[in-house]
Chains A and B, each alone.
Chain A
Amino acid sequence: MITLPEQLEKLSKQENLIAQGAESLVYSAQHPYLPQQECIVKYRPKKPYRLPELDAQLSKHRTLAEARVLQKLALGDVEVPHLVFIDAKNGLIYMEKIEGLSVKQWIWNEEGDTEGGAQEAGDKSRSLPDGDVSSLKDTLVLVGQEIGKLHKSDIVHGDLTTSNVMLRDGKPVIIDFGLASVSTLAEDKAVDLYVMERAVLSTHPVHSQQYCDWLFEGYLAVVGKSQKEVMRKLEDVRQRGRKRSMLG
């Protein structure tokens, strides 16, 4: 049974649980110090199977790691949720609530509007109708640019999927830095992009190639001089991926 952490009893309710991942529970809650505002609280609960001392340390460590990444990015030009409060001891990060849809849901809506639900159809030859190409393209190029800015800041996300990017007034905001880390290595950035490609392929199978092309168009427009090396590494990572899937 999932129970609301006691720290949130005055700010939220069990029903306000909006997501449950492997590591964390995400609640929408009243803002802890601004009247009439909402926020998001990400909670890393205790794991009964871990040693208690180790457990407390781990959840504190990961909570702080995520908060530090958000702060590092807040000092630059990547759009991410603002920090509202950190209760590291109890594994809680309070952050700004981004109003809007995930890129995943937004794409599904766009596809659905014009194709009567792209999900159910496996017809890969179908092309996107002209009217929507422009908004899909513009948005995905922007998402690619945001990811490019992220990598330029030497942060790798660790779980780049279309559900971990949201759209606020049409502009991408990257969320979920639970697996993020600082890295200057082209290899790490390439793995990040590979994860993104795979995620697009499984979430948006019909037009995945087109979507990835747009994402890369945006990405390459901002990353600058490191792009050659990252793209070369990406080719290596893709090949390793293919080998792995051939071996089964």
Chain B
Amino acid sequence: MSKINKAIGEIQNLTQMAEQDQWMNRIHPLVKLLLTVMYIGVTVSFDKYDFSGVLSMAVYPIIIFILSDLSFKNALYRMRVVLPVVCIVGVFNPFFDKEVAGYIELGTTADGVMRTLVVTGGVVSMLSLMVKGFLTVTAAYILIATTTIEKICYALRLIHVPKIIVTEILLIYRYITLLLTEAKRVVQAYSLRAPGQNGIKFSAWGSLVGQMLIRSMDRAENVYDSMCLRGFDGEFFIGEKVAFRGRDAAFLLSGIVVFVVFRCFPVFEMVGELF
């Protein structure tokens, strides 16, 4: 029960964050969408052995977290469900790819023997996959936390993604909340009539889940009807001044420059050579 409430609360927090009036929220949604897509593309494109290159892409989320008032702690907390999945992705690489990629010196022992740790290609590629996963999820989080779903849909329409797909995305997003509220109601109604019972009896699961789905689908249909009755036809009108302004262009350009520089030059190594 309290878990459902928490989940509903999380979604609502996220939406409210996206609605705040911060500079990052005011950036044109299309700019944020494009940058996020580009960022994900660039990050994923690094070679799987290029760990330092992948790591250097962390610069974008770091800058955003510093400049905007997003909290990194909250971000980690909200992403906790997907992060383990991201970590599992590369976990078998070390077993398959045993080629030696390098050594790490651990110093010498008392009797003068050099101790080294062998790093295999598998370990490197596992780490870079994990970091890639983490960075892409973080970038998506930044987009969602600073842009309302309506604005994202609006941006998608600007680049001519078909109406039906965009509407579908919007409805799925809204459906999550509906499903959760329905789940809450059904569980509440059940527990009020089954006092002193911990959890839900297995025999009741089927009908409860069925009820939940039917009811939430009915409500989703109603919501869609309600949208259509008020003039919705697949186009999004987000109302606020959506003009493309100077600072949007500046943001987009600096993003692209950073991505290109970090993709084409081994920035970390170059900085290291300066010292």
B is bound to A: no
